[in-house]
A and B are shown apart, each in its own frame.
Chain A
């Protein structure tokens, strides 16, 4: 089976840039999406097709994907960005999610 690996937790000071990595074998050859989930809420799509952003998602969220790693970058991190973040991709007709990263904003 295909695995996507994320760090369990990332901490960032408010106003700084947070980066969350997602690693998988030849992940750069696949499309990656990112989701944000706040406690008690359903996930929300942040990015798709590696780095495309829906119109209702703030510009401070961006993404890239190359080699074996996809990266979610949050510029000017705000307190409201404190949440769990999941990467997602595909492998042989199945969907794969990363284990999730808890972002703490200090």
Chain B
């Protein structure tokens, strides 16, 4: 299993950015996928998740309405579209594979993690 996060950059407040996660080594289409972030020196914060077949999406209150998660099972890719970025969005962003197809059942866990990609929002 390999997850390669990319797309992080230094960007000004109010701008947009799209993160990508390239997955390999497993049946990508059969699992829920997530984005988790970690502000420098702080703890883990779940950002968003998407079930298999994209049937359901979930967002943290802090990003709902600004971020959009999506997946392309044909290319084994996970995305996070981030709009209206704010200074407090500065963090390492990790993609992670759930152990279950549908994370909304509450029984899954984060089996595998990417190495993370850094997003810095600053004027």
Contact = CB atoms under 8 A, between A and B. Distances in A.
A88 B109 contact: yes
Chain A CB within 10 Å, residue with most, of B43, B58, B59: B43
A90 B106 contact: yes
Nearest to B92: A42
Nearest to A100: B43
Interface of B: 34, 36, 43-46, 49, 56, 58-61, 94, 99, 103-104, 106-107, 109-111, 113-116
A95 interface: yes
A94 B60 contact: yes
A93 B61 CA distance: 12
B47 to A, nearest CB: 9
A94 B44 contact: no
A33 B114 CA distance: 18
Contacts, number: 62
Contact of A94 (B36, B43, B58, B94): B58
The A interface is mostly helix, strand or loop, or mixed, namely strand
How many A residues touch the partner, as a band?
A: 20 to 34
A42 B43 contact: no
B99 to A, nearest CB: 7
A45 B104 CA distance: 19
Contacts of A33: 109-110
A44 B116 CA distance: 13
A97 B44 contact: yes
A48 B49 CA distance: 18
A82 B114 CA distance: 22
19 contacts: A1-B61, A33-B109, A42-B116, A43-B94, A48-B109, A49-B107, A54-B111, A88-B110, A90-B103, A93-B56, A93-B58, A95-B34, A95-B46, A95-B103, A97-B36, A97-B43, A97-B44, A100-B43, A100-B44
A31 B107 contact: yes
A45 B110 contact: yes
Contacts of A86: 43-44
A14 interface: no
